[in-house]
Amino acid sequence: MPTEPPQTTTLPTPVPMVARFGFTSERVFDSETLFFHQGQLFMISKEREPGRTELYRLPLDQPGGERPLERITTLAPELMLIADGAVSPDGRRLALVCRHFAAIYDLPPGPDLEPLGQARPRLHRFELFKIEGCDWEDDQHLIMIGEDRQLYRLRVD
């Protein structure tokens, strides 16, 4: 355990924006996670009205312009309140965290993610803390951060 106070270093270099992509939608979306799969960028939106979790593909072929969102499918209704998600380093699993649980999907081998709409992810449910972010440490371990800045490691078999 550390004995000294935590150190925070502020780096002087900003995070520059190198390109901008615009996307439009007829529906109001609330992007909660972005992830790459098979070279394609996907986004999951928490749409509270009417309360659905939608998967979109974001074409990245038009920097500076605007493209309509390409809706792929609606995810399981149990996934309302999604907060973040990530694809495992081997590209085989997608983890979505929804405040009090992590849902693990097996990703299809190809770029088409429409089958996720029918898939039933496995849940790992937690007590008491609220998860806001996640990513994979390796193919079996998911790192999560809670709303209270607490970090957790979840083993996923």
Distances (CA, A) of 140 to 87, 90, 91, 93: 11, 10, 12, 10
According to the binding rule CB under 8 A, does residue 32 interact with other proteins? yes
Distances (CA, A) of 20 to 16, 55, 155: 11, 21, 36
Residue 139 to residue 89: CA distance in whole angstroms: 6
According to the binding rule CB under 8 A, does residue 118 interact with other proteins? no
Instruction: Give, as ranges, the residues between 132 and 151 that touch other proteins (CB under 8 A).
Output: 132-137, 143-151
Instruction: Give, as ranges, the residues between 33 and 52 that touch other proteins (CB under 8 A).
Output: 33-36, 41, 43-44, 48-49
Instruction: Give, as ranges, the residues between 69 and 108 that touch other proteins (CB under 8 A).
Output: 69, 76, 78-81, 83-84, 86, 98-103
According to the binding rule CB under 8 A, does residue 16 interact with other proteins? yes
- Residue 52 C-beta-side C-alpha neighbours within 13 Å: 12
Question: What is the radius of gyration, based on Cα positions, of the chain?
Answer: 17
Q: How far is the CB of 16 from other proteins (least distance, A)?
A: 6
Q: How far is the CB of 109 from other proteins (least distance, A)?
A: 19
Q: How far is the CB of 146 from other proteins (least distance, A)?
A: 7
SS3 at position 78:
helix
